[in-house]
Amino acid sequence: AQTVTQSQPEMSVQEAETVTLSCTYDTSESDYYLFWYKQPPSRQMILVIRQEAYKQQNATENRFSVNFQKAAKSFSLKISDSQLGDAAMYFCAYSRYNNDMRFGAGTRLTVKP
């Protein structure tokens, strides 16, 4: 079974600074998808960024970017110019097809003004 590990239960960053959240996963597959989801206090999960494993180029969405290391099975999220609204739980997720999305335990990010 695929597993997703987030080794940082909590992280803190100063407003306007950069923070990196770590994620590793275990799979024997070569074609899969990786995601970072954000869960603010409202509880509603929203997609932050997605990476397709066959693409070597790291995904970027505005201030959010990933460092995808396929051989190392590592998928970290970098948040640049952190804002107060970035404070949330962040979940890393792995999926091959829609019906097997697996999530890590999450990292709680605090942004200090």
Residues that bind other proteins (CB under 8 A): 4, 6, 9, 32-33, 35, 37, 42-47, 50, 91, 95-106
Give min distance, CB of 13 to other proteins, in A.
21
Inter-residue contact 26 to 3 (CB < 8 Å): yes
Residue whose tokens read 């997609």: 47
Cβ atoms within 10 Å, residue 74: 15
Q: In sequence order, which residues have a C-beta less than 8 Å from that of residue 28 and are 6 or more positions away? A: none
Closer by beta carbon to other proteins, 30 or else 99: 99
CB closer to other proteins, 29 vs 72: 29
Quick one: 75 or 91, whose CB is closer to other proteins? 91
Measured from the CB atom, the residue of 98 and 113 that comes closer to other proteins is 98
Q: Specify the amino acid at residue 45.
A: M
Minimum Å gap between C-beta 112 and other proteins is: 22
Closest approach of other proteins to the CB of residue 15, in Å:
26
Closest by Cα among 60, 61, 1, 63 to 29: 1
